[in-house]
Structure 1
Amino acid sequence: MKQTMITLSFFALLLSSGCDNTSTSSLNEKVNPPEQPSKPIQVQTLAWVGHYKAFIPCDACEKKLVSLQLHQNKTYTLKEMNFFKQKIKQKESSGIFTFDEQNSNLLQFIDDKTKQNRYFSLHDHSIEPLDQNKTQFKDFEKYQIPQVQNIEVNNALKYVDIQADLFKSEKIESNGIESTKLTYFFEINNHSDRPLKLRDSDIVLVDAKNNEHISIIENDPLSPVKPNKTQHELVSFIYPETYQAAYIKIK
């Protein structure tokens, strides 16, 4: 009889212990707060990310157009156009780039296909190609490639594509009025079978007040764009400093 009582007491103790554990576990589940969703990480755009574009000297041709895009993931796309009297040679490449550990302004480009290295020096709002010894070219100021900004082009011409990138912004005085001079790098693609003729009055800058400002073409008069050809020109606009540029209109 005593043995039976001891056995029953033992099982009762086990049941009591099991109930206590279940209760404690349930209580803990109720007390623990739910997991908070992680906040999204804001990625800051780096100053060097963007598009760089300019003409630079060329020993083997008349001039060279460099169009370089640096991406935030440290990859690049590079387009180089060599202009000769009778033809244009174009070369495109892409790859990755790294910052030099000793000089954060020195970039090393590694071509995806050829694995060849090229070097560039990064400045405020511009970039400069260097030779294979990482030194500047003679007349290095002519090798500065500024960072450009695209502006909307409202084009009424058929079979013509025009892209305009802000090349330079200057504060000047025009007729006694504080003004802004904006110079844009134009890429004019003529897809028609006829030459395209553009005058300065055909290209206007429209400001935020809907005022129109006639262009000033550096190579005036602008030579006709040949059929199915692309032409690059520098086009400037001068307008009062108090207004902002909205878009460019081609009449």
Structure 2
Amino acid sequence: MLNRYHLTLTTLTLLLSACGQTEKHQENQAAFSPENQILPKAQVLTKTETAASSTETIGQWAGDFKALLPCERCEQHVIHLRLNEDQSFQLNEVQRFKQRSRENNVTGHIQAVTPKITSSNQEPSASTADQWLLQTQNGRTYATIQLTAYGLELHLQQQQSQHAAKKVLLHPVENMQVSNALKHVDIQAEQVQSVAIKELNDPVITHDYFLTIHNQSDQTLKLNASDLILVDQQYHEYAAVIEPEFLLPIPAQQKQWIKVSFHYPASVQADVIKIK
């Protein structure tokens, strides 16, 4: 899964090479140049060629995408989208309130947006070059997605969500192993496949993780940042950085999602997240 998101590595490589990094980084920069990006370029295609190109591109982006969103009328808003190689999808949207939660599950298939041809240059419009429709089983369009360098931009149709006025960026995620010492608490982790430079003179990266925490006990669960540690394959440990809004107590028999960050070099291979 990590090798599928070359565009994310492009941003990292360009920044490192700008600071006089090694020849290896320069080779990576050439390998991930705009000419080699997997996003399709605007070109005139027949209907058959467009369908084939759509299938190939979506196949390259098959996987899981997730976003933890602010919510004015609820405690949390989580969107999880799964794209499959056969151009089907599963979308799970959860809004968590203090005493209850609302969940919406949608399945269907992915349909490429027909490129718009302009009279001036007879090429597809850039606004539709990388767009796809998420269509339900009955053929109704549920949302529009667009490929970007950092994941998927998702735009729910107006009748589907109160957040339809703005586009949501869904980050590609990959499952991460968790060593959990807490009883009656189920914790799952996903690594967010996007990076940001912490210090240009020191190749330390801020790596983000999404944690799904289900407090199955009869007691309120209170987690601190010091309770979470990331261990790499060389058994080095890294402390967690958690924003205050994600450290609120988790009531008994409730599920919450938090975002956790760990700062470690790009060369480090993360192995497991330990929960004390």
- Same fold per superposition (TM over 0.5): yes
Is 1:237 matched up with 2:237? no
Match of 1:209 in 2: 234
When Rg is computed on C-alpha atoms for both structures, the one with the higher figure is 1
Relative CO higher for 1 or 2, CA cutoff 8 Å, sep ≥ 6? Answer: 2
**Residue of 78, 87, 95 corresponding to 2:100:** 87
Query: In structure 1, what is the equivalent of residue 218 of structure 2?
Result: 193
- For 1:119, the equivalent position in structure 2 comes to 143
| SS of residue in 2 equivalent to 1:130 | strand
Offset at residue 203 of structure 1 (A): 0.6
Write out per-residue CA displacement over residues 131-155 of structure 1, whole angstroms, 9 at most, x where no aligned residue: 548xx96554xx1111112211111
Q: Give the CA deviation at 1:189.
A: 0.9
Task: List alignment gaps of at least 5 residues for structure 2.
Answer: 1-55, 116-127
2:84 aligned residue = 71
How far has the Cα of 1:69 moved from its partner? Answer: 0.3
The amino acid that maps onto 1:92 is N
* Inter-CA distance 96–228: structure 2 relative to 1 (3 Å threshold): same
Residues 217 and 236 of structure 1 are in contact (CA less than 8 Å); yes or no, is this contact kept in structure 2? Answer: yes
How large is the RMSD of aligned CA atoms in angstroms? 2.8
Deviations along 1:167-209, one digit per CA (max 9) or x if unpaired, are: 24222129x7431111111110111111222211111000121
1:241/1:126 CA distance change after superposition, 3 Å: closer
- Cα displacement (A) at 1:51: 0.5
Number of equivalenced pairs: 203
Q: How many angstroms apart in 2 are the aligned matches of 1:93 and 1:82? A: 15
The reply on whether 1:47 has 2:56 as its aligned counterpart is: no
TM-score (norm. length: structure 1): 0.71
Aligned partners of 1:86 and 1:206: how far apart in 2?
35
In structure 2, what is the equivalent of residue 225 of structure 1? 250
- TM-score w.r.t. length of structure 2: 0.65
Amino acid across the alignment from 1:87 = R
Distance, in Å, in 2 between the alignment partners of 1:231 and 1:221 is 9
C-alpha distance 45-152 of structure 1, shift in aligned 2 (>3 A)? farther
Change (3 A) 1:59 1:221: closer
| Identity in percent | 31
